Amino acid sequence: MRLSSAPASAQPTLSSSTATTPESSSNMDSEDHPKDVLVVDSNHDNHSMSISHAGDHEDESSAMESSDGASATTKRSIDDEIARRQQHVAYTRCAALFLVLATAVAAGVTTYIFTSRDEQAILKQLVYEMNDEVLTTSLKHFFEITNFLEDMSISMSALATSSNVSWPYYTQFNFATSFGQAYLENAGASLISWSPIVQGELQRIEWGQYSTEYASEWIPSEHLANEIPSMIHYKNEEGLPVMEQSSGPFLPVWQLSIPIDGHSPSNTTHTIDPSAVNYNILANDLVAKTFDVMMTKNEPALSMVIDATEIYGHSLNNNVPTSLLLTPIYANAQDSDATVIGSLVSVLPWTLFYQEILHPSQPKLTVVVEQPEACGQSLVFTIEVDGEWAHYVGPGNQVPENYLEYGTTRVATGLQISNDNGCYFTIGVYPTDETIAAFDGEESAAAIWTSIVVLVILFAGFVFFAYDYAVQRRMMKTMNSAAKTNAVLASLFPTEVRDRLVGKKPKSGQDRCDTDDSIPMDIPIPESTKYRLKNYLAGVDNAAIPASDEKVQEAIAGIDMHDTKPIAELFPNTTVMFADIAGFTAWSSVREPSQVFVLLETVYRAFDNIAKKRKVFKVETVGDCYVAVAGLPEARPDHALVMAKFAKECLEKFNELSKHLEISLGPDTGDLAMRAGLHSGPVTAGVLRGDRSRFQLFGETVNTAARVESTGFRNQVHLSSDTAKLLIDAGKEHWIKKREDLVTAKGKGALQTYWLVTPGLLEGMNNDAANPESAHRVGLDLNQLEASLPPKIQRLVMWNVEILKRLLQQIIAKRNAMPSGGPKYEIQLTKLEESMDKRKQLIEEVTEIIALPKFDPSAHKNQADPSKVTIPEEVLKELKLYVCSIASMHRDNYFHNFEHASHVTMSVSKLLSRIVAPSEIIDKEGGDLASALHDHTFGITSDPLSQFSMVLSALIHDTDHLGVSNAQLVKENHDVAKFHKGQSVAEQNSVVLAWTKLMDPSFMRLRRAIYGTPDELQRFRQIVVNNVLATDIFDKELQTIRKNRWDKAFAAGTMESTDDKDSAAAINRKATIVMEHLIQASDVSHTMQHWHIFRKWNERLFAEMNTAYENGRLGFDPKAGWFQGELGFFDNYIIPLAKKLKECGVFGVSCDEYLNYALENRREWASKGESVVEQYIEKYCKPSKDAEGKNDEEK
Question: CA-to-CA distance for 292 and 1049, rounded, in angstroms?
Answer: 64
Cis peptide leading into residue 249 (ω within 30°): yes
Whole-number pLDDT of residue 512: 41
Instruction: Encode 439-453: b = buried (16+ Cβ within 10 Å), e = exposed.
Output: beeeeeebeebbeeb
In terms of pTM, does the model score above 0.85? no
- List all residues 6 or more positions away from 282 whose beta carbon is below 8 Å from its beta carbon: 249, 250, 251, 288, 291
The Cα-based distances of 1090 to 565, 586, 914, 1078 in angstroms read 48, 5, 19, 19
Element (H, E) at 1119: helix 1118-1129
- List all residues 6 or more positions away from 59 whose beta carbon is below 8 Å from its beta carbon: none
Whole-number pLDDT of residue 497: 37
Question: CA-to-CA distance for 893 and 143, rounded, in angstroms?
Answer: 40
Q: Which residues pair with 737 in a beta bridge?
A: 755
In sequence order, which ranges of 615-760 are alpha helices (DSSP H)?
A: 639-665, 700-710, 721-729
Name the nearest CA neighbour of 997 among 946, 947, 956: 956
Do β-strands 408-416 and 389-395 pair in parallel, antiparallel, or remain unpaired? Answer: unpaired
DSSP reduced 3-state for 103: helix
CB atoms inside a 10 Å sphere around CB 748: 12
CB 367 within 8 A of CB 212: no
- List all residues 6 or more positions away from 281 whose beta carbon is below 8 Å from its beta carbon: 195, 251, 252, 253, 287, 311, 324, 345
- List all residues 6 or more positions away from 338 whose beta carbon is below 8 Å from its beta carbon: 330, 331, 332
Burial class (CB in 10 A: 0-12, 13-18, 19+), 760: exposed
Question: CA-to-CA distance for 946 and 1026, rounded, in angstroms?
Answer: 12
With a pLDDT cut of 70, the percent of the chain lying above it is: 75
Question: CA-to-CA distance for 595 and 584, rounded, in angstroms?
Answer: 12
The Cα-based distances of 1 to 524, 540, 544 in angstroms read 7, 11, 7
Whole-number pLDDT of residue 599: 92
Question: CA-to-CA distance for 962 and 971, rounded, in angstroms?
Answer: 14
Whole-number pLDDT of residue 879: 93
Whole-number pLDDT of residue 57: 39
* Torsional class of 261: left (φ above 0), alpha (ψ -120 to 50), beta (otherwise): left
Name the stretches of the chain with pLDDT < 70. 1-79, 81-82, 116-120, 123, 220-227, 259-272, 314-317, 336, 414-422, 439-446, 487-564, 758-782, 821-822, 916-936, 1051-1062, 1148-1150, 1182-1195
DSSP reduced 3-state for 984: coil
- Amino acid, res. 1044: N
CB 495 within 8 A of CB 32: yes
Question: CA-to-CA distance for 18 and 484, rounded, in angstroms?
Answer: 11
Residue 675: phi and psi, rounded to 5, are -135, 145
Do β-strands 673-688 and 716-719 pair in parallel, antiparallel, or remain unpaired? Answer: parallel
Whole-number pLDDT of residue 8: 38
Task: Convert the pLDDT of each residue in 1113-1170 to its tens digit.
Answer: 888 889 888 999 999 999 999 999 888 888 877 776 667 888 899 999 999 999 999 9
CB atoms inside a 10 Å sphere around CB 666: 27
* Torsional class of 710: left (φ above 0), alpha (ψ -120 to 50), beta (otherwise): alpha
- List all residues 6 or more positions away from 209 whose beta carbon is below 8 Å from its beta carbon: none
Instruction: Encode 826-835: b = buried (16+ Cβ within 10 Å), e = exposed.
Output: eeebeebbee
* Torsional class of 952: left (φ above 0), alpha (ψ -120 to 50), beta (otherwise): alpha
Name the nearest CA neighbour of 810 among 692, 727, 916, 897: 916
Burial class (CB in 10 A: 0-12, 13-18, 19+), 292: middle
CB 950 within 8 A of CB 1023: yes
Q: At what angle do helices 1064-1083 and 1036-1049 cross, to 10 degrees?
A: 130
In order of their start, the domains of the chain are 1-117+441-506 (no CATH), 128-431 (3.30.450.350), 565-756 (3.30.70.1230), 791-1033+1063-1080 (1.10.1300), 1084-1195 (no CATH)
